[in-house]
């Protein structure tokens, strides 16, 4: 099966067509944020302050990238465990976030919000941080510089290899995959 090419930002029609297990390549702009940045974004929303970037159609990659070696846009940039963002994710989905990239399972509340707001959760391969970094062609600091590698960055990516882990219908590769191998 050939990978499905995606260009960000994502629209609802594109998200609706994706299914758990689909292999994709993502190109365009994505944003990085981990739990500390998510907490600050929710605090901003609750205080009526603007977010550091518009969420509509955007994709957030759960990563704290390493410093870039010479000739690279970023250092190793492997995914972090997504469950740490679960307390904040439903609100961001409500505000227009369409995609998340990470590793690991998601809570029922997040999956329910993904179905309600039509969003998708992509998996990046853990342990392949240097390979993933090759897909990042440009980085720019966006917000929360004091968080160091956990600040929000804008990554321009080209053909970032991902797998749809949970689609907008709630189909979950973490649940489906083991069933296939039990047969």
CATH code, 81: 3.20.130.10
Spatial CA neighbour of 73 closest among 113, 10, 132: 132
Lowest-confidence range among 12-16, 22-26, 72-76? 72-76
Given a contact cutoff of 8 angstroms between Cβ atoms, the answer to whether 132 and 103 are in contact is: no
Identify the domain containing residue 147 by its residue range. 4-182
The per-residue pLDDT for 121 is 98
- Please tell me whether residue 168 adopts helix, strand or coil conformation: coil
Condensed to tens digits (0 to 9), the pLDDT of residues 35-69 reads: 999 999 999 999 999 999 999 999 999 998 888 99
The span from the CA of 131 to the CA of 135, in Å, is 7
Cβ partners under 8 Å of residue 77, min gap 6:
61, 63, 65, 66, 129, 132, 133, 136, 155
CA 25 → CA 3, 7, 31, 105, 124, distances in Å? 6, 9, 16, 21, 11
Please state the pTM of the whole predicted model: 0.94
Helix (H, G, I), strand (E, B) or coil at 104: coil
Q: Calculate mean pLDDT across residues 74-95.
A: 95
Which residues are catalytic, by number? 38
Q: How many domains is the chain built from? A: 1
**118 pLDDT higher than 90:** yes
Buried b (16+ CB within 10 A) or exposed e, 21-48: ebebbbbbbbbbbbbbbbebbbeebeee
Q: Which residue has the tokens 């679960």?
A: 86
Place of tokens 């998601």: 106
């Amino acid at each position: 099966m050939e990978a499905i090419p995606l260009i960000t930002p994502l629209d609802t029609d594109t998200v609706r067509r994706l299914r758990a297990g689909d292999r994709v390549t993502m190109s365009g702009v994505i944003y990085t944020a981990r739990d500390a940045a998510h907490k600050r974004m929710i605090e901003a929303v609750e205080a009526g302050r603007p977010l550091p970037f518009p969420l509509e159609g955007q994709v957030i990659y759960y990563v704290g990238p390493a410093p870039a070696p010479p000739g690279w846009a970023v250092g190793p940039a492997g995914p972090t465990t997504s469950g740490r963002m679960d307390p904040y994710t439903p609100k961001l989905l409500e505000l227009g976030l369409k995609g998340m990239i990470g590793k690991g399972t998601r809570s029922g509340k997040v999956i329910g919000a993904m179905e309600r707001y039509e969003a998708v959760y992509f998996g990046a391969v853990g342990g392949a941080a240097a390979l993933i970094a090759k897909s990042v062609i440009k980085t720019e600091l966006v917000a929360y510089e004091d968080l160091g590698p956990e600040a929000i960055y804008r990554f321009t990516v080209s053909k970032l290899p991902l797998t749809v882990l949970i689609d907008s219908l709630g189909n979950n590769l973490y649940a489906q995959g083991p069933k296939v191998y039990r047969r």
